[in-house]
Amino acid sequence: MADFSVALREDLIANAPALPEGFNTDRFVQNALALLNGNDTIQKFIKDHPKDGIAQVKAGMMRGAYLGLDFLNGEAYLIPYGSKLDYSTSYIGEVKLRKKYSVRPIKDIYAKVVRQGDDYEETVIDGKQSVNFKPLPFNNGEIIGAFAVCQFEDGDILVDSMSKDEIENSRKSSKAQSSPVWGRFYEQMAKKTVMRRLCKTIDMDFNAEQRTVLDEESAIITDPIEQRNADIESEANATEFIDADAVEVTEDADGQTSFA
């Protein structure tokens, strides 16, 4: 992995102007190596794809670097998918980005799923949005929707909600619609989807590279010809992926899930 760390560091230095202010190159490289050394799934992907596996990993790491996200902390993750490697910002990463880059200071921002049997009410009173959510204790029922709330430091609140049909329509229109992430971590992807839609109404101070990464979240392919072929065969490859059970999933007290 010594060659990988040298190559990653060189890319980070070469692209320094596009990285977030205060980006810590040494820490990012160290955490990237720690993730690789502890992730058997990615190691197997590299071994099974000697031609471009390591290049895909490095390209995926660079996507996270442009956003200032830490893979080791579960703010972004890479999941093998056949001959491709999926990059995705995690729910935790989304929260971090919105709080950091919102032009209007954010006090808190979060998303929740609504399950069958939960009590969800969204209202507008005197032009101000509000939401009342009373989930059933330990409810493992079917997900019927999701909502996101953004509370600004000045006290204003924005709310957005999506039915399961709307979430599915959003999924089908994305480049990552066949990603194993959706199959294994549907709840987190549903929360991320509604938060993304809410944040379209919030002015974010992203640079061009950051906007590109967020807009094009999908498979990491370094060869243009292979990218074209992958786009054509995306549906055919929908079930060809390494078992995502090897991805470690943890959840904190606030219900936020991270992946490694």
d(CA 103, CA 248): 34
Buried/exposed 214-248: b ≥16 CB within 10 Å, e otherwise: beebbbbbeeeeeeeebeeebeeeeeebbebeebe
d(CA 200, CA 148): 12
* Residue stretches of the chain with pLDDT short of 70: 1-2, 175-178, 218-260
What is the residue extent of each domain of the chain? 2-91+216-259, 104-199
pLDDT at 221: 44
pLDDT at 218: 54
**Beta strand pairing status for 219-220 and 84-89?**
antiparallel
pLDDT at 234: 38
Task: Give tens-digit pLDDT for 10-20.
Answer: 999 999 999 99
pTM above 0.85, yes or no: no
pLDDT at 214: 86
Residue 112 φ/ψ, nearest 5 degrees: -140, 150
pLDDT at 257: 39
